[in-house]
RNA sequence: GGCCCCGUAGCUCAGCUAGGAAGAGCGCUGGCCUUCGGAGCCAGUGGUCCCGGGUUCAAGUCCCGGCGGGGCCGCCA
């Protein structure tokens, strides 16, 4: 346990005991939760409201609090103060500073040992176009969540689901087969090339269909950008009707699901190339997955068939208009509660098998969920998926429940996040309109460069590298510092803000702290430190001490933004300290050692925190 | 039409799970022309917490009813 955690627990325990002597039972957890800093520092470091207990005892709140403040004694708390109905505590910073700083300068500061096995599936983009800005939020949230949970003590596995089965890839492969070349031109990044072919294919096909009025303008837009590809595909498909094309796509899809050699070769050639592109993009921003799962493998391994067989045997699925469908008639309030499905939400039937015999995404996702739980022996599976997929995710949990996988259904978490908007632009992969991750990173670096030129202490290659670290950090921070329930509007001037509440600001603060340590050129020696001077820096020391509670809370609530906010606050306090209190020029050796320990603790905490957000903490910039 | 999310300072947001003492950054105004890195520091400015009811000693937070914005309701995902 950590210094401040123990101290809070001890304080609350004493409060509980004192209340018990007065004759009321208090819930320790409830007291602990209500413990919060008062509005201003002269009122105390922490306060706990006791109105409720005063009422139970038929006392005036102040009288109760006053009485307790005189009775309770806690080592590490130097004073208790009664303010209205609040019992406020002043921490004896001199008393706790040694242990607190000892903990804070360790490599593993802020880690926990809470057992648990969790799978985090994230990013999982359709392999038909490059990663785009929507995936960026998904990726950085998922990556940070995995790191936060590992830090919490969990065994964590990250997985990427390759959707190589289904209508979307089939459209792409179909178009490529018609064009007679599966591979992209040498000079082009594969995912980008396929993205163009995919959007053109969609437009060419759909402008023959019932929604042609909508699609013709899109096709013309694409024609102006990629005239050769549009022309080529139009030529190849000119004799075919919309219905014929769809029949051929459906046949191709079936051939792949049936693992026919030629289809396999085509699909795999294409999808592998796209995945190479994904990996290349993710490498630039430092995101890697532990396991890559291929949707087709689920089909070929017989897992999907097993699900279908089971559904039929259990009598939960029936044939309707030639398709195999689950209806969720069994759904009641208890199941809704357990599977976190809103009371009034109507759940439409789920089609498991189309009338043409092919399966759907959600069907395969049932098999995939089972695989994720079983292969890793997971307690919980977290799917990082956009909020717009709430309904299919609910259907997935219900289908698992109906099939008898109740534990999996209950422990499958849809980590739903809101969209990322670009002002004045409606993104659409099918329409070839998107902000790609690759472009985003390049553009950010380009914009950051002049700013780095102005300020950086570095030269040459190192300076180039810092521009990338700052640019990527800024994007990550923008994605991860806002709660997942709020849509993000992506604006460069907000994302590339270098002032407070930004990754560059925190990175800079870290570099400053490390700079002091580098110049001091001596090992921090806590035995020589004079802790009687700690009181003068109470705010900063207490803030450093909060870090473990923040990492724990971030893990429990799956909330990376809590770390982001904390790091920003810690940076603010450190910068104030930096400005007012010279460290290396401190004449008093004991005091200097204390200050050095604080600086080291700050540097370490900032680095650890940035790690949890997946953001690099450079030592110079 | 049904359901989900959001609505807090001019702007971007924290606080809502678990009721308890209205917060931060940006912006704006003025100062620090820099003894360890000014991506910084100091001071000031700014709020019917969308509206209306209810529960409570206490509501930004819980409940009910509205309003505004976004999303979803497909043999797509």
* Spacing of A412 CA from B72 C1' in Å: 20
Three state DSSP letters for A341-402: CCCCCCCCCEEEECCCCCECHHHHHHHHHHHHHHHHCCCEEEEEEEHHHHHHHHHHHHHHHH
Q: Which residues of chain A have pLDDT under 70?
A: 429
Contact A104, A368 (CB under 8 A): no
Q: Which of residues 488-517 of A touch strand B (CB under 7 A)?
A: 488-489, 494, 497-501, 504-505, 507-509, 511-512, 515-516
Neighbours of A299 (CB within 10 A): 22
Q: What is the pLDDT of residue A531?
A: 96
Q: What is the pLDDT of residue A247?
A: 94
* Spacing of A388 CA from B77 C1' in Å: 9
* Spacing of A520 CA from B10 C1' in Å: 45
Tracing tokens 């997985």 back to the chain, one arrives at: A159
Q: Which nucleotide is nearest to A491 (CA to C1')?
A: B12
* Spacing of A577 CA from B31 C1' in Å: 19
Specify the DSSP element, H or E, that contains A487.
none
Query: What is the ipTM for the molecules in this complex?
Result: 0.95
Task: Please tell me whether any atom of strand B lies within 7 Å of the Cβ of A49.
Answer: yes
* Spacing of A494 CA from B36 C1' in Å: 31
Which bases of chain B come closer than 7 Å to a protein CB? 2-6, 12-15, 17-18, 20-27, 35-42, 57-58, 70-77
Chain centroid to CA A156: 14
* Spacing of A33 CA from B54 C1' in Å: 27
Q: Which of residues 181-240 of A touch strand B (CB under 7 A)?
A: none
Contact A49, A58 (CB under 8 A): no
* Spacing of A254 CA from B6 C1' in Å: 42
Neighbours of A244 (CB within 10 A): 12
Give the SS3 label for residue A457. Answer: coil
* Spacing of A479 CA from B70 C1' in Å: 18
Strands (E), A122-197: 155-162
Name all domains of chain A by residue range, CATH numbers in brackets: 3-91 (3.30.1360.70), 117-164+294-421 (3.40.50.620), 167-275 (no CATH), 437-612 (1.10.730.10)
Contact A85, A51 (CB under 8 A): yes
Task: Please tell me whether any atom of strand B lies within 7 Å of the Cβ of A42.
Answer: no
* Spacing of A514 CA from B50 C1' in Å: 46
What token pair was written down for A90? Answer: 């002043």
State pLDDT tens for residues A197-255: 999 999 999 999 988 888 898 899 999 999 999 999 999 999 999 999 999 999 999 99
* Spacing of A478 CA from B8 C1' in Å: 21
Q: What is the pLDDT of residue A66?
A: 95
Q: What is the pLDDT of residue A521?
A: 82
Residue A124: DSSP 8-state: -
Q: Which protein residue lies nearest to nucleotide B75, measured between its Cα and the C1' atom? A: A354
Task: Please tell me whether any atom of strand B lies within 7 Å of the Cβ of A483.
Answer: yes
pTM of whole model > 0.90? yes
Q: Which nucleotide is nearest to A579 (CA to C1')?
A: B41
Q: Which nucleotide is nearest to A578 (CA to C1')?
A: B36
Q: Which residues pair with A291 in a beta bridge?
A: A159
Q: Which nucleotide is nearest to A481 (CA to C1')?
A: B13
């Amino acid at each position: 346990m950590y210094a401040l955690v123990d101290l809070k627990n001890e304080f609350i325990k004493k409060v509980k005991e004192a209340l018990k002597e007065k004759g009321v039972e208090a819930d320790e957890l409830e007291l602990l939760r209500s413990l919060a800093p008062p509005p201003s520092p002269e009122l105390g470091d922490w306060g706990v409201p006791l109105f409720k207990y005063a009422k139970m005892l038929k006392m005036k709140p102040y009288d109760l609090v006053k009485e307790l403040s005189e009775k309770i004694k806690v080592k590490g708390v130097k004073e208790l103060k009664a303010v209205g109905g609040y019992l406020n505590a002043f921490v004896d910073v001199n008393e706790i500073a040694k242990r607190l700083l000892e903990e804070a300068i360790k490599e593993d500061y802020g880690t926990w040992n809470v057992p648990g096995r969790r799978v985090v599936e994230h990013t999982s983009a359709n392999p038909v176009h490059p990663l785009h800005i929507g995936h960026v939020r998904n990726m950085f949230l998922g990556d940070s969540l995995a790191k936060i949970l590992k830090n919490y003590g969990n065994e964590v596995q990250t997985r990427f689901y390759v959707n190589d089965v289904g209508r979307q890839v089939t459209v792409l492969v179909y178009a490529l087969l018609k064009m007679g070349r599966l591979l992209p031109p040498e000079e082009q990044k594969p995912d980008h090339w396929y993205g163009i072919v995919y959007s053109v294919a969609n437009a060419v096909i759909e402008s023959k269909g019932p929604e042609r009025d909508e699609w013709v303008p899109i096709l013309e837009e694409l024609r102006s950008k990629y005239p050769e590809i549009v022309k080529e595909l139009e030529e190849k498909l000119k004799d075919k009707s919309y219905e014929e094309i769809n029949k051929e796509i459906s046949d191709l899809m079936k051939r792949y699901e049936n693992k026919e050699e030629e289809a396999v070769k085509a699909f795999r050639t294409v999808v592998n190339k796209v995945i190479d592109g994904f990996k290349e993009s993710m490498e630039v921003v430092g995101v890697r997955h532990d396991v890559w799962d291929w949707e087709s493998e689920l089909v070929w391994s017989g897992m999907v068939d097993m699900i279908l067989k089971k559904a039929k045997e259990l009598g939960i699925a029936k044939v309707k208009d030639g398709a195999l469908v689950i209806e969720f008639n069994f759904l009641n309030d208890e199941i809704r509660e357990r599977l976190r499905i809103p009371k009034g939400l109507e759940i439409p039937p789920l089609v498991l098998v189309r009338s043409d015999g092919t399966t759907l995404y959600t069907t395969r996702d049932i098999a995939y969920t089972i695989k994720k739980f079983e292969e890793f022996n997971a307690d919980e599976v977290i799917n990082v998926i956009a909020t717009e997929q709430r309904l299919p995710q609910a259907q997935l949990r219900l289908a698992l429940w109906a099939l008898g996988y109740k534990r999996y259904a209950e422990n499958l978490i849809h980590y739903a996040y809101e969209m990322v908007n670009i002002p004045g632009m409606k993104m659409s992969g099918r329409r070839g309109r998107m902000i790609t991750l690759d472009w985003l990173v390049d553009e950010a670096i380009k914009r950051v460069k002049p700013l780095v030129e102005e300020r950086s202490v570095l030269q040459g290659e190192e300076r180039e590298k810092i521009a990338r670290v700052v640019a990527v950090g800024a994007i990550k921070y923008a994605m991860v510092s806002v709660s997942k329930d709020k849509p993000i509007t992506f604006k460069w001037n907000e994302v590339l803000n270098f002032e407070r509440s930004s990754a560059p600001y925190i990175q800079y603060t870290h570099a400053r702290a490390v700079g002091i340590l580098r110049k001091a050129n001596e090992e921090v020696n806590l035995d020589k430190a004079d802790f009687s001077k700690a009181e003068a820096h109470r705010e900063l020391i207490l803030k450093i001490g909060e870090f473990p509670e923040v990492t724990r809370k971030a893990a429990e609530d799956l909330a990376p933004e809590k770390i982001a906010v904390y790091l920003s606050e810690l940076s603010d306090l450190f910068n104030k300290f930096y400005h007012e209190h010279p460290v290396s020029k401190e004449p008093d050796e004991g005091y200097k050692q204390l200050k050095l320990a604080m600086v080291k603790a700050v540097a370490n905490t900032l680095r650890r925190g940035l790690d949890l957000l997946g953001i690099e903490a450079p030592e110079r910039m």
